Structure 1
């Protein structure tokens, strides 16, 4: 006699998975979408037409092949990858984070990261059956150097994640503190530079000094969130080992071709990033004029503290502006909303909606 669906779920799916919440994506239809740190700019019409013609010529009946190597070479040039270093591709950075947990899944292994931070660090550890240790930032969202070093000494993590800049706080951390953490780490240190197009500094030049440091980037914030291309760089031998757990065809031929096309027109995306940085400065000044506390940002988002985050979030949503209420994600984020930097028009709408809720 076959079991009922309830019985199958209860007995065949892991208990911790049953207790989890799926990653939530807000319904943004009809909204000014400023909740997910996407580039609000689309390609110019002429480039849209050119890309469409190019994608129409892709052999959809074939598995991804040599063009994947072309994309890796183009990304290496774009990132100015140091000699002797390798690069691997992921279906967004999320997959790379999962693959790292899979590759480092030894008995008793631990993943460590500052909190609040990107939720996938902890989720990837849990799904792979690894221990996750979160170390609180300071109230101003700086690295707590002593707490980080003490946690590293105690837990001896296989992986330490450092987002540079951090999500959702948007700030770059103290470089001297980062170096102490890198020196103290007994395993790998992964510098996550998802927001590099908007940041004033990169760890790339320092990475070559260390054999145990990996650097992740993504084309999502570059302007291709829908294309799902993440990439990880590090010493060639280390990257080759981690690449063994990657599914063989994890990047589609369409995604690959779209990414190659975008890199051929990287000046267009660089101009978009420059415009978003100007808009970020205008937003920060406007938030200050509203008497609100916001933090320095090296990303395309701003963390702001409001008197009543639930009321502001719902009030803005009622006015068709969607942002992210992060106030319950971590005690340090109490009262906070995360605002994605949009176009000038979108930002004006967002500020008007926020002002009406205060």
Structure 2
């Protein structure tokens, strides 16, 4: 059997027909596509980081729970005591972890259209059905379209960026409430851009049994750190911790 025969027989067609994630060369351009902070850290911060790195034990595996940052992040983000945190290698790893936990459930993943592309990309990679849900003319949730789509798709997981990426607007709180209260799915409110709005849905993760919140440091000048967070009730976090890879950050 040739190598090509092996690839054809072992690699699923959905993978063979796809492509690797591409980042176009942006030399000489003003980058807006990834929403990175265009400014380097101040010299004083870089010097402080260099000093800390000089005393870091790179010969040892890191703390698998990253306990050193839990307290400061909880205080800075005002995370309620009732909630727990899971850390990932950027939001992408957390999305992948959430989707991977649905394999075998027979249910789907839903997200707005348009929205963050990795919701669909990672659902496809894990062979989990994906359903895009429509926005109305004002780029808000099309409530009728969503209700019909959710009945048909029977999702286990609904991703809702707040504010939405790439449209930049906040979805109506009333419509979002109706979605959360009418579904049996886990609703993941993606607050990647929370630094650019006063909206905060951490209290929903306390109030509603089917809501968790996802955040990242990528949009506040730390894209290179690849640090993502899932914030939710300890019951949810403890389940997802079971499939999180060790030493992932």
Give TM class, smaller chain: over 0.9
Query: How big is the alpha-carbon RMSD for the aligned residues of Structure 1 and Structure 2?
Result: 1.5
Report how far residue 73 of structure 1 moved. Answer: 2.5
Superposition map of 1:219-298 within 5 A: 219-251=217-249
Q: Is the 8 A contact 2:218 2:227 kept in 1?
A: yes
**Equivalent in the alignment of 2:7:** 9
SS in 2 for 1:177: helix
1:99 corresponds to which residue?
97
Q: Who wins on radius of gyration, i.e. which is larger?
A: 1
Q: CA deviation at 1:39?
A: 1.0
Q: Deviations over 1:144-198 (max 9, x none)?
A: 0111112222322100110001111111110000000000111200000001111
- Which of 178, 181, 184 lines up with 2:179 in the alignment? 181
Choose which of 40, 50, 63 in structure 2 pairs with 1:65: 63
Q: Structure 2 regions of 5+ residues with no counterpart? A: none
Mapped partners of 1:86, 1:48: distance in 2: 30
Once the two structures are TM-superposed, the CA of residue 205 in structure 1 deviates from its matched residue by 2.8
How much does 1:241 deviate? 0.4
How far off its partner does 1:244 sit? Answer: 0.8
The separation in 2 between residues aligned to 1:235 and 1:206, in whole angstroms, is: 10
Figure out how many residues of one structure are paired with residues of the other and give that number. Answer: 249
Residue number in structure 2 paired with 1:197: 195
Counterpart of 1:36?
34
Alpha-carbon distance in 2 for matches of 1:102, 1:41:
35
Which whole-Å deviations, capped at 9, do the CAs of 1:256-298 have from their partners, x for residues lacking one?
A: xxxxxxxxxxxxxxxxxxxxxxxxxxxxxxxxxxxxxxxxxxx
Does the residue aligned with 2:158 lie in a helix, a strand or coil? strand
Residues 55-93 of structure 1: CA distance to partner in whole angstroms, max 9, x if unpaired? 121111100127711112222222211122110000000
Cα distance in 2 for partners of 1:72, 1:104 equals: 27
Deviation by residue 1:78-110 (Cα, 9 ceiling, x = unmatched): 221112211000000000000001112234121
- In structure 1, the partner of 2:53 is 55
Compute the TM-score of the two structures, normalised by the length of structure 1.
0.67
**Which one of the candidate residues 102, 115, 121 is aligned to 1:117?**
115
Instruction: Report the Cα distance in structure 1 between the residues aligned to 2:71 and 2:183, rounded to whole angstroms.
Output: 30
Higher helix share: 1
Distance in structure 2 (CA, Å) of the matches to 1:64 and 1:144: 45
70-79 vs 232-241, which deviates more?
70-79
Q: Per-residue deviation at 1:207?
A: 2.8
1:172 to 165, 170, 173: 170
Tell whether the 8 Å contact from 2:112 to 2:132 is kept in structure 1 after alignment: yes
1:41 is paired with a residue of what secondary structure?
A: coil
Q: How does 1:210-225 map to 2 (within 5 A)?
A: 210-225=208-223
* TM-score of the superposed pair, with normalisation by structure 2: 0.95
Comparing 190-199 and 148-157, the one that deviates more: 148-157
Q: Give, in whole Å, the separation in 1 of the partners of 2:102 and 2:179.
A: 19
